[in-house]
Amino acid sequence: MDLNMEEIIMGIIVHSGSARTLSMEAIQEAKKSNFERAYELIEEANNEFLEAHKVQTDMIQKEMNGEKTPIGLLMVHAQDHLMNALTVKDLAEEFIEIYKTRQK
């Protein structure tokens, strides 16, 4: 795997990690009844996912055009990181709604 590919894959990891962190922060804000801030953090997380998906989509398009992507441990880790972060964000959105309902 060349350095450029490693940098590209690290982009998925970095953006996914940021999205996960923002999602967890959103839960903490909702717990404190700061719902406006919680939604802002979810929006920031969505922006991070958008960046990760851009990288992923670019890699998929290249592969569809015959440029094979090496499947190494780093790539598997990046995809795992992305999927886990998406799950955390989905759960964060649910927690926000639960805290919001509980407050009423």
The residues assigned a catalytic role are 77
| 58 annotated as a binding-site residue | no
The amino acid occupying position 8 is I
Name which of 2, 17, 1 is nearest 78 in CA terms.
17
Query: Using CA atoms, how far apart are residues 50 and 48, in angstroms rounded to an integer?
Result: 5
Tokens (6 digits) for 50? 């958008």
Binding site residues for Mg(2+), as ranges?
A: 80
Binding site residues, as ranges?
A: 80
